[in-house]
Amino acid sequence: MKRINKVFGVLIITISLTSCSGGGSSSSQESFVSGDGSVTFINPADRIDAPALAGMTLSGTNYSYGVGRVTVVNVWASWCAPCRAEIPTLIALSKKYSDVTFIGVLTRDMPPAAEAFARRFQMPYPTLIDDSVLLGFRDSLPANAIPSTAVIDRNGKVAGRILGEVTVASLSKLIEEVSSK
């Protein structure tokens, strides 16, 4: 009887551990929170400075954001299904709004996988590979989900955010609101 209980206990522990692993998924996916697409807009008087957006990119170059243009900052990972779904929208809008700067920020991902993703989709804008830059958003509109997209106004202040997958309508409206104020 003790042997059966011991075998049963080991079986329960094994099942518990393997069910938490996500079927062999990488540890970067643990605690993944998907957004609901909610949009937040901050009135100009209530905005605070965006963090410094600078560092090494997926392509191996140094990038530094300069204030003066409306900027879309998209937080993504190559393993994230909503990130994969929204990339055609982001690429199309980066071409439509040529006067707007688009920047990606890679989070909880392996650069080689992300680089292959960016190459496959021919992402026309840089992606920073140091997700510690996200800490700078903690006092304004933190990236609480993957994907998250922040919009920074021409004065370098955080003006809005979309938690979750962007749509043409949601991001276009946010860009136009920020551009007009």
Q: How many domains does the chain have?
A: 2
Q: Given this model, what pLDDT does residue 25 score?
A: 34
Residues 77 and 4 in one domain: no
Chain CA centroid to CA 132, Å: 12
Residues 18 and 76 in one domain: no
Residues 74 and 93 in one domain: yes
Residues 56 and 17 in one domain: no
Read off the tokens for 100.
């707007």
Taking the C-alpha atoms of residue 152 and residue 15, their distance in angstroms, rounded to an integer, is 46
Q: Given this model, what pLDDT does residue 159 score?
A: 97
Helix residue ranges per DSSP H, 71-110: 81-96
In tens digits, the chain (181 residues) has pLDDT values of 544 444 333 333 333 323 323 333 333 334 446 688 899 999 999 999 999 999 999 999 999 999 999 999 999 999 999 999 999 999 999 999 999 999 999 999 999 999 999 999 999 999 999 888 999 899 898 888 899 999 999 999 999 999 999 999 999 999 999 999 7
Sign of CA dihedral 22, 161, 115, 83: positive
Single-letter amino acid code for the residue at 3: R
Q: Given this model, what pLDDT does residue 7 score?
A: 38
Q: Given this model, what pLDDT does residue 33 score?
A: 60
Q: Give 82's contacts (C-beta < 8 A, 6+ positions apart).
A: 34, 35, 146, 147, 164, 165
Residues 16 and 48 in one domain: no
Residues 167 and 100 in one domain: yes
Q: Which domain does 123 fall in, by range?
A: 31-180
Residues 2 and 59 in one domain: no
